[in-house]
Homo-oligomer: A and B are copies of this chain.
Amino acid sequence: MFGASEAARLGAVGTIVRSMSPNIEDYPHTGMMRYDTAVVKIPAVAIATQHADILSKMIREDKSLQFYMETHCESLEDVPSFNVIGELKGSEYSDEIIVVSGHLDSWDLAQGAHDDGAGCVQSIDALRVLKLMGYKPKRTLRAVLYMNEENGLRGGTEYARQAELKHEKHIAAIESDEGGFTPRGFSMSTSDTVRNRIKQWKPMLEPYGLTNYDDEGGGADIGPLEKLKTPLIGYRPDSQRYFSYHHTKEDTFDKVNKRELELGAASMTALVYLIDQYGLE
């Protein structure tokens, strides 16, 4: 994150990072970096793993190698944008809100199909499926698509600020932001009581492939709800392919397997249903 500033401190005029990828590819992975304002800002780029390998070889062969770097990135002025929210009103405890969510923005190299189109579609689907079944929720179910996760977490931060302002009671927040892959479990950032309650439902959730309930963590966008003491739950799909697509031009619709995406949506829907029926305390 601060590599460029650390390098500048040592006299570097620019930094080149090998993309964080498990594969040898010819396209770079983008991501966030930050400058330490006490040091001069130098250009920082990520290059493809394949190109990094070629560059390493060239440097070994020619110690006087010169590298020409040209970047066109700029930070434009902020413009207004919005979270997108849909809800099914609760019939019994309508003041108790269950959030199921993903983020709407993506790095602009591709569609952001896994990061985080999948999470958005699954969140909408949880409410769509329950509505289609004619299910009348006891609590208020809210699908939230946050704006601007990738560049500052603005949507998630504002959502939590509004929740606090309006004294809304969020009894659970679920996020899917690890891709539309086959289910593995739910991670949690909550009390042992809540974790153990969810673990009691394991026999009902395990048939979806949800075997792991022990990991820590919820999701970036729901993180700001922690100050309201909301139990945070992350949908955890299989992670093997995520970082092949993440933040690259390859994160496109055709990389999403329909069945795996649907199993994720079903996993989240089942959890929403159980929380709605039985609460978390």
| Chain A residues within CB distance 8 Å of chain B | 22-23, 182, 184, 209, 211-212, 238, 240-241, 244, 257-260, 263
Contact = CB atoms under 8 A, between A and B. Distances in A.
> SS class of chain A's interface: helix, strand, loop or mixed?
loop
A240 B211 contact: no
Task: Pick the 7 closest A-B CB pairs, nearest first.
Answer: A211-B211, A240-B259, A182-B238, A240-B260, A182-B240, A22-B259, A241-B257
17 contacts: A22-B258, A23-B258, A182-B182, A182-B238, A182-B240, A209-B238, A211-B211, A211-B212, A238-B238, A240-B257, A240-B259, A240-B260, A240-B263, A241-B257, A241-B259, A241-B260, A244-B257
A211 B258 CA distance: 24
Given A23-B258, A184-B209, A240-B259, 16 more contacts: A22-B258, A22-B259, A182-B182, A182-B238, A182-B240, A209-B238, A211-B211, A211-B212, A238-B238, A240-B257, A240-B260, A240-B263, A241-B257, A241-B259, A241-B260, A244-B257
Contacts of A184: 209
Q: How many copies does the complex hold?
A: 2
A122 to B, nearest CB: 15
Nearest to A23: B258
A86 B23 CA distance: 30
Choose among A212, A240, A258 the residue with the greatest number of B CB atoms under 10 Å from its CB. Answer: A240
